[in-house]
Amino acid sequence: MLPGNMMDRPLTVPSILDFAAEIHGDARVISARVEGDVHRYSYKDAHKRVSRLAHALRALGIGDGDRVATLAWNGYRHFELYYAISGIGAVCHTINPRLFEDQILYIVHHAEDRVLFLETSFLPLVEKLADRLPPDLRFVVMCAAGDLPETGLNVLAYEDLLAGQPDTIIWPDLDERQASGLCYTSGTTGNPKGVLYSHRSTLIHTMGLLAVGQSIGLSPERSLLPVVPLFHVNAWGLPFAAPLVGTDFVLPGTRLDGPGLFAFMDQEKVNTSWGVPTVWFGLLAEMRKHGRKPNGFDCVLIGGSAAPKPMIEEFERDFGVTVVHGWGMSEMSPVGSVGVFYARQRALPEEERMHLKTAQGRRMFGVEFKIADGEGTRLPHDGVAFGELHVRGPAIMSAYFNDEAATDGAFDDEGWLKTGDVARIDPNGFLFLVDRTKDVIKSGGEWISSIDLESAALAHPDVAECAVIAVPHPKWVERPLLITVLEDGSRLTAGEMQDFLGGKVAKWWLPDDVVFVDELPHTATGKLSKMTLREKFRDYRLPGV
């Protein structure tokens, strides 16, 4: 091998904020605070506060590899923690507060967290868990001393921690392969599993996002609001991508319902927003109510679970908001594909273009795809064959954090990560998720896609949300059951729903029954919890069975 003669400088997280402060210093971070007001400052100002926080962490005795946990909403202090913790060589461990209490306890103990930073709104939760948390865990409440609620815990106030610290810093020389962040999966089966990101993986993932940045709202002189939380998988990489390119970063705090989002996006003239379909149901309802979209809103990225075609059509046709579909996993940093359209796709007839919008897009730079059958044989990317999707790349997990049992079986013999998604890939590289391996319905030796059936059902104007699960059948093994939440005032019947689906899906795909419920369960990350539905309906008897 002939080595190149290039400098070997590490790719590290704090270099992003250094660059943003110097080159995009006037771009802003705008936050809806738990205190009720809106906080605004520039990336240059953020850099000064991050420097103070980094010095304060060192004063607390935090060093290389120490895990520092957060229980926080999308706000500027959480953003600061992302950079200060990893910048000194420690690991930023974001905890999802929507997890079950036992899962939070497991995560804190498994990660061996040294300090927990928490919002005031999470104090009651932490007080309740205090006796079962590590005895040496320290607590910092993310507020000023004057806003600190009464508590029996021994706590520090965030702003007191920063007071008197220098607002400049020389970052330590870090190895780009050392850990920078830690996120645990939601743990729908067994204990949550930790994914440990490195500085290198984070930078490579960020550059992959910026390769398509203009089309997904990442550009200077635009603003972007992540509804996807900072407490889950790095908010899809946005806390790194937005400052690197100079995008105004608008953080909604606790304003995550339809009315709250609409009002805040309208007030701040947000151009782009990223989040899961569940959130967009609420925002679309508010947009219908107002008869318009929020001021300045023109692009939405939808990921986390498949966006139904009716949702895509309503955003684009009724409100002029471009939809970009995306897909990824915690184990992938997380974005794996984005549905960016170029001239060829934009020129397609509307129906073809809308169909292609339902795809999860094409792989991001740094991510490779393959699909394989049950025996591990690689299948062609012909748009017809489908099998389990496998991925590999420099920003994709190589093992779960301190969890050999979870790591075993997560990879195939060639070292590719098995995603658990059933997919097909067309000759142009567009990824179409057919289903999760555990959600696909196996009926009479054939597969029925719950995702496609849900999308067809959501086209009915009376359907607010729905889910399709498999229920046992003595002859066909499994048959689909459609579980539906109706719009207020609707009197839709099961027979009418089945008649509606009759012309939209194959006859043998039609659900054997339709059940109406007031609400559907969701996971801690906002996805439909089909595991909960399967448990609830495990003894359900289909008509005539």
Helix H or strand E segment including 481:
strand 477-486
Active-site hit among 12, 70, 185, 523: 185
Q: What does residue 353 show for φ and ψ, rounded to 5 degrees? A: -65, -40
CA distance linking residue 295 with residue 451, whole number of Å: 32
Distance from chain centroid for Cα 298: 20
Catalytic (active site) residue 447: yes
50, two tokens: 């991050």
Using a 10 angstrom Cβ sphere, with 0-12 exposed, 13-18 middle and 19 or more buried, the burial of residue 178 is middle
Q: Taking a C-beta distance cutoff of 8 angstroms, is the pair 268, 260 a contact? A: no
Sequence-distant (6+) residues with CB within 8 A of 383 are 424, 425, 426, 427, 430, 432
d(CA 325, CA 315): 12
- Residue 236 near residue 226 (C-beta atoms within 8 A): yes
Q: Which two tokens stand for residue 508?
A: 């043998």
Q: Which of 176, 331, 388, 465 is catalytic?
A: 331
What's the token pair of residue 302?
């939808």
442 counts as catalytic: yes
- State the first-to-last Cα distance of the chain, in angstroms, to the nearest integer: 68
Q: Are 439 and 469 in contact (CB under 8 A)?
A: yes
Torsion of CA 68, 74, 80, 83, to 10 degrees: 60
Write down the H helix ranges in 188-236. 199-210
**461-464, Cβ contacts within 8 angstroms, sequence gap of 24 or more:** 461/487, 462/486, 462/487, 462/490, 462/492, 463/487, 463/492, 463/497, 464/281
Residue among 442, 487, 508, 535 flagged as catalytic: 442
Tell me which residue of 111, 118, 183 sits closest to 153, measured CA to CA: 118
Judge residue 173's burial from the number of C-beta atoms within 10 Å of its C-beta, 0-12 exposed, 13-18 middle, 19 or more buried.
exposed
407, 437, 447, 536: the active-site residue: 447
Active site residues per annotation: 185, 331, 442, 447
